[in-house]
Amino acid sequence: MASPRTTEPLLTRLLAGEVDHEAVGDQLERILASAVFRNSKRCSSLLRHVVEQVLDGRPDNLKERNIGVDVFGRPADYDTNVDHVVRSVAGEVRRRLAQYYMEPGHEGELRIDLLAGSYVPQFGQTPLPAVTVLPPVPKQFPSAWVAVAAGAIVAVLAIVAVVRLWVPARPFDQFWKPFLSSSNMALLCAGGGGQPAALTGPDGPLKVGEFERQPFRRMHTSDAVALASLAAMLQSSGKPYRILNRAAGTSFRDLQSGPFILIGAMNNEWTLRFTSGLRFGFEHLPNGARVVDRQNPSEQSWRVDVTAPITQFNRDYAIVSRIRDGQTEQPVIIVAGILSWGTLAAAEFVTNPEHLRKLEKLAPRRWEQKNVQVVIGTDVIRGSSGPPIVLAAHFW
């Protein structure tokens, strides 16, 4: 349980003098000099601007249009609905901050966070939450990505907690209530990795380095951040959980033990199984994959081409599903992009109350008691995803 000091709006503490301005400035320079930020001029410029505006006592200036004019040189009357440079770069700044605090050695540093839905940075320090992880398979080393995800939780737990304090959470609670109200421990199951390798090869026992390089030991960074966001949300909601080491190593019996969240699509066989009978699902294509609408098979626009140059790739798609599964008899949340950008956007959608408020305009009465599927799109600019965009929804 967070202390009252942790949950108090950190900007208020800064303006009250409880957070040292010089310390914030030093931390800003430390972050901007890191490998995570120094190669991105746009991210560095935006982060420096918003921090300095708050330190100068001008947080009210941090509106999207003002930032577009002051940081990116847009005209004063530019259309923010068409040109979303500020939103896109702010999303990238949030991810880079999460990555910075994920790296070893930064855990105890003063935090600078940019909350989703706001351009006013927050300052403070975050305690490390406790995380329950399944024991590793006997005679195998613990999965490296579990450690990455646990570290990333530090980077997002305070964000989730503070956002839930500031934003009306009714749609958030409606979406998550069937899952959080279960008396059983929740499970988090991310994709990737494949089957475990044998401990011996043709030349005898594997070396430690050879073992570490096996595919089942790997996890995409975006999937790890999505996993951390979801774990942080469960932590802040007081929901006990455990992280399953990999989708390929997860059994049907595991999924029968409590409510579970599936992360990723094309790299998570359980996601493909559980969505195969739903309206919205995933389909492999010769050059990629697509989100398929089984009630409207002619819909062909929700697809990605993995053979396209990254400089020309501009959109990924995802499905968010909340269902009561008849086979496991458990509540299920599926957060799954065709590629990693979609998975990250889907995780942002279900953990940010402001995004979940978009469901109110689409949902029927008493939708919280129904199964839900939402198709998400996200713009990809220079290899980074933007905010989630709701393309379609289905309730039954």
Q: Is the dihedral of CA 94, 98, 99, 101 positive or negative?
A: positive
Q: How far apart are CA 20 and CA 355, in angstroms?
A: 33
- What pLDDT sits at residue 141? 38
Contact between 348 and 116 under an 8 Å Cβ cutoff? The reply is: yes
> Can you give the length of the chain in residues?
396
Q: Which residues pair with 389 in a beta bridge?
A: 377
The whole-angstrom separation of Cα 377 and Cα 224 is 20
Tokens coding 154? 């530090």
The one-character DSSP state at 265 is S
Q: 357 falls in which pLDDT band (50, 70, 90)?
A: confident
For 8-36, the pLDDT digits (tens) are: 444 445 444 456 788 899 999 999 999 88
The answer to whether the CB of 341 falls within 8 A of the CB of 334 is no
Start-end of H helices in the chain? 4-7, 10-15, 21-32, 41-55, 64-72, 85-102, 144-166, 170-180, 208-212, 221-236, 252-255, 269-275, 340-351, 353-356
pTM for the predicted model, two decimal places:
0.58
- Return the pLDDT at 3: 38
pLDDT over 70 for what percent of the chain? 76
- Winning range, highest mean pLDDT, from 130-139, 145-154, 249-258: 249-258
Quote the pLDDT of residue 109.
86
Per-residue pLDDT tens digits for 189-205: 887 655 555 566 667 77
Identify the band that residue 125 occupies on the pLDDT scale cut at 50, 70 and 90: low
- Which H or E run contains 289? strand 288-293
Average pLDDT in the chain: 80
